[in-house]
Amino acid sequence: LGHCVAFGQRAGVQPVSRGGGPERTVARAAAPPRAEEVLDVTRTEDTVDQLNAVQFDSRCHLVTTDPPPAIDPFALVEGLLEPLGSNVRAQLDHTESPTLRDSAQHFFGAGRAREGKRVRPVIVLLIGAATALSAPQGARPEPDAAAEASGEHSLPNRRQLAAITEMIHTASLIHDDVLDAADTRRGDSAVHRLYSTKAAVLSGDFLLARASVMLARMNNAQVVREMSKSLEALVQGELMQLRSTPDERLSLEYYLTKSYCKTASLMAYSCKSAALLSGHAIESGVAVAAEKFGYHFGLAFQVIDDLLDFTATDEQLGKPGLQDMSLGLSTAPVLYAAEEYPELKQLILRKFEAAGDVEAACRVVMKSAGLRRTKELAAFHAQAAVDACCTLPPCEERDGLVRLCHVVLSRSS
């Protein structure tokens, strides 16, 4: 992102605030990485500032007023997405431990749990196809092994990236459930409840290890670097959640930065990597737009997820509702409600640990404007993701990405 601000200035962009409003934010441009560096040290705050500093002039669609494009984004990539579960299971067969194999494959069709929405691989595949249309003249997208075998040299190596992204995401879920002592996930028991805590930790590690091997086999140092940053951000997000200070627990900015680390970073870096595989330079406007899409889409996704913690049923969520407050976490609905009802701040500061705190906080949130303002925050980020899409050439895949921004705002699970 060293050239992110410079690109934004060339595109005629204006800075926005980290929290998503029209306030002033000064972006700090990082120095370009040296050619010999494979992985440079990053500061999450700098990355978030730089992403927020880029605002595109183009606006081809209003997510709050225009009807969604009449296209099914999942159907567009169905043929590429269908074998994902079996392909991942094949990657996880390389172990002599049946318990490790079964626990790692649990969310990829081997267990009773729902396989999930597969949103992350879908956006990787759509971004890859959309950015390939504007690849620089003479650039040749990286082919995958299947494409080489079949002679389809024009097909980018995005299927492998899509699988890697879902494996990293699934590993983070398994580890999250251990840290949170969760009982269920996707309508079934959490992995550590089915097997053991040790098996769950090792299965998450195994998923990350196999994803890293697949990533290395892509033989693209830039993609390895960017995807490695997503792993770093995931760990930092967990640390932010475990070690927050009292002031940080009351901060919407801190909440959004943590949400970037835990959710949006993987989407942002995988979308950027898809653009790199399509032949775009790392500092190009297309690569920045792809990362910008993943960043804002990921934040909209997480903000709506936190909204659903209050409004959806346990069956819809596949896990208990009000789980965030039960874990001592303050999310957007609670933080907005606390601005309106300051007495809620004491409950936030003590992490809802006293008897009746969760129920009392829920009542305050429901009578406040917290849920409405949370929906508006999600809509802001969904619109910013659409604006990033609008810089790409018109195509079905771009329409599919725009449609996903509508889907994320209207989802109930």
Q: Is the pLDDT of residue 343 over 60?
A: yes
pLDDT in tens, 289-314: 999 999 999 999 999 999 998 987 66
Q: Which range has highest mean pLDDT (4-18, 89-103, 376-390)?
A: 376-390
Supply the pTM of this predicted model: 0.83
Compute CA distances 405 → 87, 284, 295, 388, whole Å: 28, 24, 12, 11
Rg (CA), the chain: 21
Residue 102 has pLDDT above 80, yes or no: no
% of the chain residues with pLDDT over 70: 73
Q: Is the pLDDT of residue 6 over 80?
A: no
Query: Closest Cα partner for 295 from 225, 381, 372, 370?
Result: 381
Closest alpha carbon to 234 in 278, 204, 192, 189: 204
Residue 151 has pLDDT above 80, yes or no: no
In the numeric block, which tokens belong to residue 210? 């196999």
Instruction: Give φ, ψ of 143 to 5 degrees.
Output: -85, 155
Instruction: For residue 207, give every residue at least 6 positions away whose Cβ sits within 8 Å of its Cβ, in sequence order, or none.
Output: 92, 104, 167, 168, 170, 171, 174
The answer to whether 177 touches 189, Cβ cutoff 8 Å, is: no
Report the pLDDT value the prediction gives residue 40, as an integer from 0 to 100.
54
Q: Inform me whether the pLDDT recorded for 242 exceeds 90.
A: no
Q: Are 280 and 135 in contact (CB under 8 A)?
A: yes
Provide the pLDDT for residue 30.
Answer: 42
